[in-house]
Structure 1
Amino acid sequence: MAIVEVFLGAFVTVLLEKMASGEWLKFLRHEGILTQLSNWINTLSQIQALLTDAEDKQLTDRAVNQWLDDLQDLAYDLDDLVDEFSTEALRRKLMSEQPQASSSKVWNSIPTCCTNFKPTSVMFNFEMRSKIKEINTKLSNIFEQCSKLNLVKIIGTTPTPTTKTWQRPESTSLIDEPRVYGREHDQSKIIELLVRGDESSHSNVGVIPIVGMGGIGKTTLAQMVYNHETVKQHFDLKAWACVSDEFDILRITKAIYDSVTSQTCSFNNLDQAQVKLQKVLAGRKFLIVLDDVWNNKYSDWNVLKKPFSDGAQGSKVVVTTRNRDVARMMGAVELHDIEVLSDEDCWSLFEQHAFVNPSIDANPNLVSIGKKVVEKCGGLPLAAKTLGGLLRCRERYEEWVNVLRSEIWDLSHQECDILPALRLSYNHLPSHLKQCFAYCSIIPSYYEFEEEELVLLWMAEGFVQQREKQMEDVGDAMLELPGSIEVKIMDNCL
């Protein structure tokens, strides 16, 4: 699967905006092909509604993958054609202004070949009509294939649960690692924040977010803290709730109640469920872990936290999230960023999952290859754990070499969770930022570049839309959007 296909939806969005604006619309009306443009926009809009489903199904369906390849080629051809129309419209406009501009130094500096329009216009019309016919044929064929591929319309950027081919398994409070490497300092810091008094706070409940990119080990760190003896002794009640990208307040409330009481909340009414939870938490010092939070809607958080208000002073909520805006919105006591593992710790984690068979562990050639595989992990625990598990029972030298030489996206998603985890971050990016990320995919791995350089490249490609701010300021702000740096780093690491 070519990773650039994942970003087609953003490209089509920008293309549609481009086609629906500009001086060149007057030119198309004059040429009698404005109706043709309307047909293109209508058909592309219908195809765009299918892209979320198609981008998800391409992981397992080769036919859908090929369909996206064909659509991508068509989108680029159509984008080029739009640019040619725009250029010709500008040339015709200059030609009509020639009498007034004949004495202009600017006009006189333009080569004669670019101002002698009559033969050029005839040739342009002939070539354009040929290209229009070709575009129509390709667009018609692609649209006809939609029904054969059983693609369905999905509103929004996140697939519905029934259409996802991969969904992150729900987390629990139990640690699934025999030993955790490189997180001792992080664990001590979080525990210090948990047991520290917050008398100066206006609320009895303090929020401590653990923030970091996907696959960096936020959930594992939260599990370590949750199960630490100091934490167990400090709090009267503890609860663990996996939130994920569907912020269902009733489901989360019931999960917290079930975890605190070890009983099942039978109410399917939010008011009843929250009243019941509030009674359990009232006057008690509690710790609640909300794992994998994406929603940064302040009103939703205010509703969810209502039952927490009567808890004892010193109660805490630990939140794991990839989005710094989530942490800020919740009114965090102190935000804790989690970093990638050192090379030594990353190797130890990989080794823990890869070498369970003594006969494999004794092979120095496999150890040598394994260390090169770890270099590709970029310090990400998920990558080290996944690739280690992938090689766990493979004793042949050639199998290890194949994994070393493979790109992450070439590995089966049944074997490797890394790319699907990355797709979650991509799905939550704004549409205009998705195209900026797509552009980053052409940058070689480990290539160092300045932020200003990247912003200027985006500007040159027309990705940065200027409103009332300077383009450079808009580009800088885009780099700070939730998920943008994470996705860019994972793309370069993997």
Structure 2
Amino acid sequence: MAEELIVGGAGEVVKRAISLAIDELGLVIGVKGELKKLQAVLTHIHAVLQDAEEKQVKEKEVKVWLQELKQLSYDAEDVLDEIAYNELKYSTQWLNYPLRLVARFKMAHELKAINLELDGIDKRKSAFQLKTTNNVAEPVQTFNDRETYSFVDESSVIGRDIEKKEITQLLINDDDNIALPVIAIVGIGGLGKTTIAQLVYNNGAVKNHFQLKIWISVSKDFNVKRLLREMLEATSKIAKHESSSMDLIQRCLEEKLKGRRFLLVLDDMWIEDGFYEKWEALRIVLKCADRGSTIIVTTRNGEVANMVAATSHIQNLQVLPEDDCWDLFQRRAFVSGGVQMTQALEAIGRQIVKKCGGVPLAIKSLGGMMRLKREENEWLAVKNNEIWNIPDADKKIINVLKMSFDNLPSSVKRCFSYCSIFPKGHSINKKMLIQMWMAEGFVSTLQGNMEDIGNQYFNMLRLNCFFQDIESNELGEIKRGKMHDLVHDLVQFVSGQESSVVSANMIPDDISQTRYMGYISSGRRVAFPKALYKANKLHTFFSFSPYEVPKDMFVKLKRLRVLDLSSTSIKKLPSTLCKLKHLGYLDLSMTDIEELPESITCLYHLQTLKLKKCENLKVLPRKLCKLINLRYLNIHGCTKLSRMPKGIGNLTSLQMLCRFKVGLEEDGNSITELQHLNLLRGKLSILQLQNVRNAAYAKTANLKEKSNLSSLTLSWGTLGHSYIGNAGVAFQVLDELQPHQSLHELLIEGFVGVRFPRWMSNGSLLPNLKSMMISNCSNCEHIPSFGELACLERLEIMNMSNVKSIGGWKDEQMDTTTTPQSSSYSCLKVLELGRMPNLEEWSVGNEVCSEELSIKNCPNLRMTPHSFPSLKSLKLEDVGGMGVVSITSSLTSLTSLSITRPLLPSLRHLHINGWPALQALPHHLQHLTMLKSLMIQDFTNLTELPEWIGNLASLEQLKIMWCATLTHLPSKEQMQRLTFLKRLWIFDCPCLEWVTRLYHLQTLKLIECQELVELPEDLMNLKKLRHLFIDDGEKWKKMPQAMGKLDELQTLPVENCPKLQAFKDEGLMVSNSSSLRELQITKCNALKSIPDFSNLLPSLRKLVINGWPALQALPHHLQHLTTLKSLSIKDFRNLTELPEWIGNLASLKSLQIWRCKNLTHLPSKEQMQRLTFLKRLRIQDCPRLKERCRRHGPEWPKISHIPRLLIPRD
């Protein structure tokens, strides 16, 4: 791509300078005159900026002019910020009024110098013949998150099903003969390589197959040490691994990987000098893993693929099919609130999509752009753009992205350009990014709440595909996103020299114009490079690695707006911190700081202060209330911080205060400080509520008015520690802490009251509550039903030592009026009960619509809701038996079951479904001695049933279904112990080779057991067998001779046995089969004839036969089945007529004829009328016969007397 342009930036800087001059400082005495001049000249220049930014592409002088203007506007912005700072500083210090005047005149002098330079720039513009445009503020189109999020969710990726399935099969059906196979996904940028890798990586079968999964973003920095360190961090579940020794990292990683089957994804790998040697060095370390471990590599370079996957598999990714491309485009372009699809726009759109060459990234980006273009000429301009003539695919994609960028509002362009401070592959925290934008002044307060505007900017970038790989929290709120590497190339291009990512050992020579900087070091704390002081105009310094903070840093880099000191070695902030007059964002998270200097309270522009996990921090500055612009104060994890500073309630701009530790009223930091903090949003934890001694103070906290809070924690004592106090006061306090109706999550911890207030279970007071957790409430004996909370999705009740009941009739005594009938829990998905030793009764209505249920350490639980129609996952540990019986009585949807230490003497029925990774049944199931019914379903890795099955002495029914690898049942000795076993079903167990003798069976079903060759020869010992079903026996060749001795056999369907050749002399041709009532012989195509068993089956009532293509007539011996009541004839293709002897079947009530294509004639009218009991005749898919059997047809007189005729019309 050509050298960078001054895109969007100059105009935005000029606009902000104008805004500051007009709105904030225009009335400041001493600088008023210079401010007016600044406003006038910038407004004059701003009128031609749009034309200048277009002409800079071809006219170098215009580009230079724009660059000078931009830098001077930055200087003006700095001066105006400092003026605002001084006004804030002296506004509360009336005794220093003379100092204020001095500061004003100093600033006026600096403004005068800037105005002189601007005059020169203004005069030079006439030489460029720039056109004046009407620079109306560009609106930022807003879209509702929930409406648009679905079509950018990676789980709804369009196409790529074949590639995903192929790679998934390669992973699961691994070849153990190849040590550490590599699957390479190859294709041009933007084709979806990373997306396919993500889909496979998150596939359920893949998750179950591998014991460990690791995702590493490689990019162009193939540094073996870095990659190994990141792998170690992923396996150790820690944020950073401090070791700098390659040997130590290697040994630690080998220890983590040894003997474990892992999947490693190396995303976005590039070729570079010494690549093969580095690759081999990496492979050597990874060979310690278990057989079956696999590496997936994504790359644009075919040479890389050939090197890493020469002996494994290379997946060459093709462009997306045309139909999928259009589907992807229209889901982006034609959305709610955007352009409406017309016939003309669809035709143009399809041509635009075709020009994208099947590349999803380009299609998504263009779709996001086109949704705001409503005129046909705008669509034609995109279709006819010259970028489509670029032959190079990668360059074409980047230019498509550039076209989307050009169509963004200038304010959003500046926010996007700022993102070049992040390295490739970095996962960007959305909330943090918006805070940084705000600190830099990119988000105007004129359009509304800054956080909401910043969120709209982020969404616009996301919808234009500049952010992808979106991560969301449990409430559906977006947390993080990444830039595709081609998008990162674009952001580096548009930001130019003013923004960059530098490393400790690679600092550019000229950084004097750099305003925004991301910093990377080797991974351990290194000295801050003094060379960075050359960037004396720096606005943002954001570090991705720990570093040593120099003492003079704050003096040298005085223009900083954003400063990241997180994870640095700093223990004490110098007093020179106050020099950072422009600072709006300060991150001190995870440092060893014990206290903050009072000088920090002079940072009047500070909006964000992060102190997360500063575990040694003991106190906040006494005058913190001076930071009147503070919007975010994060003290999460500051465990030693005992109280809040007095006057924190004056920080009325606060949007986030994650924790508030309540002090005593006499100390001046009571809960009343929360009264006016009504802008708080997100999560708030109020701790140490035992210090609230008067409920009136709790009421003053005014939680009902805090409508932006999504999560609220109310804790007595400190989190995790119980507190003994006045139960009555605690109840009154909690009653007064009723939150706003918009709350989504509520946590109550350590409450010492005996009962809960009504508002906690009132659906009209908490209509939006989705999650509730109650724990460590030691005095409570009863918990009301929360079934009125219509949106409740998650309920956790833990460590309630005195609770005896949940819900039920006692609700009225507990200050609630909920009845079981209203307690539907209609939205509940997750329910967890734990550590309630006295819980006996749980009565919350007839049905609980939960998908996940976990009950632990409730040994006395006797009664539970008896219907869980939606339950998919059940975990039980130390639970009373009667309670479990009612829980497991109707688990029709259960897919996961975990029972630990089961004391279940009364359990009768157990259905275990869907544990693909399990190779053996849990041994503790052998203690279920009262079990009557056991179903084992969908265990893909189960090879045999354990011998202890014989311990299930009461078992009456055993069903084994979809166990693809099952080869053996338990031994003969163990199976014979099951003296009550009456019913055995084996369905779709294709590897099962034999069935053990079971002498008490009454029903035996063998369906899709394709390796089963025959039944045991001593089948005659199954004297009580009544029903034998054989279906889809692929290898069955003969029926055992002993079948005729099954004196009580009543039903025998034999279906889908293609190799079964004969019955004669081998199955039914024995002396006594008088009990058989029903016989089916279907789809046994190897049979050459129907055996003559008419004299041996005097009691046969139902006969179903089909599947003999060669048979031209029904065997005459069937006419002797005089007791037959139902006859079904199916799939006899060469049968042309039914024989006359059909009339001999005197008992026949039902005759069905299916799919006999050439059948034309029924028996004669006389023979048909002999069937005096025939009540039902069905003719299905017999086209010739059906035509003849129509009313007035030649066969109609033969059948018109039959009461029920089923002959479907066409």
TM-score (structure 2 length as normaliser)? 0.21
Higher relative contact order (CA 8 A, sep 6+): 1
Q: Which has the higher strand share?
A: 2
Larger Rg: 2
Q: Which has the higher helix share?
A: 1
